[in-house]
A = this chain, B = another copy of it.
Amino acid sequence: MALDQLIIALPKGRILEEARPLLDAVGIHPESAFDDDGSRQLQFATNLEHVSIIRVRSFDVATFVAFGAAQIGIAGNDVLMEFDYPEIYAPLDLGIGGCRLCLAQSKELGETFDVSRLSHVRVATKYPETTSRYFEAQGIQAECVKLNGAMELAPKLGLTPRIVDLVSSGRTLKENGLVEVATISDVSSRLVVNRTALKVRSEEIGDWIEKFRRAVDAQAA
């Protein structure tokens, strides 16, 4: 029986709201407790007996799917880049959760980041792996201070002069006296699947990928 269960991992918060119409469109309707943000419940039944949903943090979606504890999930490519799990296959851009991963710095450092002038940077970020790789490719050594939130405080309080963070409107950056100087990557949410699950249950999971693809196409039309 355990083999037949299909677990879908979805990220808490803003992305989840944007993903709800897609879930509806593919015919997955979670039990009502799912829409109660304050609930301590972690796993939710759906209208489909063998399909359930777990609601976890965005980084954990990737981990659950990579280890095969969930077969399908929704994760931003920011998270996928950071972990770089070979076990995750991301066949479909869902066209939701759009933002960008940016390098920003104190206004005092100017409006541009001149790579030719630096050999070393200190950066606060939730994405130390991606950040290190980004700078390494430019011949710069990055010393990353890992923060889980409130990145904008780092330059303000002298922790690091620069940050790498997700930016949507850019308002929070401005409010904190920061200037966006480079885009590391555009970000959007992807449908992700566990590669082994896709091999072993190819028809069933392939079917879900197709359903999501049609839902995305219909939304874009």
- A residues near B (Cβ < 8 Å) are 2, 7, 40, 42-43, 54-57, 59-60, 63-64, 67-70, 145-150, 152-154, 156-159, 172, 176
Complex CA distance for A145 and B2, rounded to whole angstroms: 22
| Given A42-B176, A157-B54: A149 and B60 interface contact (C-beta under 8 Å) | yes
Chain B residue with the shortest CB-CB distance to A156? B43
Complex CA distance for A40 and B152, rounded to whole angstroms: 11
Other-chain contact of A150, B56, B154, B172, B176 (Cβ < 8 Å): B56
Complex CA distance for A64 and B153, rounded to whole angstroms: 9
Complex CA distance for A107 and B146, rounded to whole angstroms: 36
The winner among A42, A63, A156 for most chain B CB atoms within 10 A is A42
Q: How far does the Cβ of A58 sit from chain B's closest Cβ, in whole Å?
A: 9
Other-chain contact of A153, B42, B159, B172 (Cβ < 8 Å): B42
Complex CA distance for A55 and B153, rounded to whole angstroms: 10
| Given A42-B176, A172-B40, A176-B42: A57 and B150 interface contact (C-beta under 8 Å) | yes
Other-chain contact of A67, B2, B55, B68, B145 (Cβ < 8 Å): B145
Complex CA distance for A69 and B56, rounded to whole angstroms: 30
Contact in complex: B157, A57 (CB < 8 Å): no
| Given A42-B176, A172-B40, A176-B42: A70 and B157 interface contact (C-beta under 8 Å) | yes
Can you pick out 27 interface pairs between chain A and chain B where the beta carbons lie within 8 Å of each other?
A2-B158, A40-B172, A42-B150, A42-B152, A42-B153, A54-B153, A54-B157, A55-B150, A56-B149, A56-B150, A56-B153, A57-B148, A59-B148, A60-B147, A60-B148, A60-B149, A63-B145, A63-B146, A63-B159, A64-B157, A64-B159, A67-B145, A67-B159, A68-B158, A69-B153, A69-B157, A148-B148
